Amino acid sequence: MEKSEILELVGNKIKELRLEKGLSQIDLVARMEGNIDVTNISRIEKGRTNPTVYTLFRIADALEVHPKEFFDIKIIDS
């Protein structure tokens, strides 16, 4: 599996969890500790950037989920 595919799957999972909580990207940023821009959340959700482990933990905390939830994804073998 390519790096871009993994980033997209993880990003989609973050977006799915955010929407399940009824949060906009702006709401998510407001809940996060430290500085992060809404455009960065958008890039993460679209798989266009590789977030740091620290950023993933901050997103998980803001979503009130365990970070492992981001990796609960279906991987289809080619």
- The CATH number that applies at residue 49 is 1.10.260.40
**Dihedral sign for Cα atoms in the order 43, 64, 21, 74:** positive
pLDDT tier, 34 (very low <50, low <70, confident <90, very high otherwise)? confident
List C-alpha distances in Å: 29 to 52, 55, 67, 75, 76: 16, 11, 16, 28, 31
**Mean pLDDT, residues 17-26:** 97
Average pLDDT, the chain: 93
In a domain, 25, yes or no: yes
Q: What's the domain count of the chain?
A: 1
List C-alpha distances in Å: 30 to 39, 44, 61, 77: 13, 16, 12, 37
**What are the backbone dihedrals phi and psi of residue 57, each rounded to the nearest 5 degrees, phi first?**
-65, -40
**pLDDT at position 68:** 95
Residue 41 CA to chain centroid, in angstroms?
A: 7
Rounded distance between C-alpha atoms, residue 53 and residue 55, angstroms: 5
Q: What is the pTM of this model?
A: 0.90
**Mean pLDDT, residues 52-66:** 96
**pLDDT at position 77:** 59
In a domain, 19, yes or no: yes
pLDDT tier, 78 (very low <50, low <70, confident <90, very high otherwise)? low
